[in-house]
Amino acid sequence: MPASLDELKGPDSGRVELPLHLAWSGLRVFDIGDVKLLLGLYRIVLNNGSRDDFVHYLNAGLLVRHWPILRKMLGRGVRSTWEESFPELLRPVAG
C-alpha cells in the first residue's frame, strides 16, 4: 500500500495499457475518459496490483471521485483495506 493517496500519480486522461501481469485476459487498453473503462481499469489494478502498480496506474483524484461506485465493484477485503488505510475515500466529494 502507498503511504498516502498523494503517491498515486497515475494518468488523469488518455489511454492506459495494462501489462500482462495485471490484465492477463480480455481488455488491456483503457480510455480514462470513459467512466466504465476507468472503473474497469481501477478494479483490475486494485484487485491484482502491487504498490508499484497502484502508484503508476491510479490517480488519487480519480480514485476519490469514483470511490462511491468503485467500492461496490471490489471484494470486501480490498475495499476494507483501502478504506481503513485512507478514510478520505469515505468522505463526500464536493462538486
Question: Which pLDDT belongs to residue 92?
Answer: 67
Question: Which pLDDT belongs to residue 58?
Answer: 98
Question: Which pLDDT belongs to residue 26?
Answer: 82
Question: Which pLDDT belongs to residue 91?
Answer: 79
> Whole-angstrom Cα distance, residue 47 to residue 45?
6
User: Residue 76: how many CB atoms within 10 A of its CB?
Assistant: 7
Tens digit of each residue's pLDDT (9 = 90 or more) over 28-82: 999 999 999 999 999 999 999 999 999 999 999 999 999 999 999 999 999 999 9
The residue ranges of every structural domain in the chain are 5-90
**Among candidates 32, 22, 12, 7, which has minimal Cα distance to 85?**
7
Is residue 4 helix, strand or coil? coil
Is residue 2 helix, strand or coil? coil
Instruction: Give alpha helix (H) positions in the chain.
Output: 35-48, 51-57, 60-70, 76-85
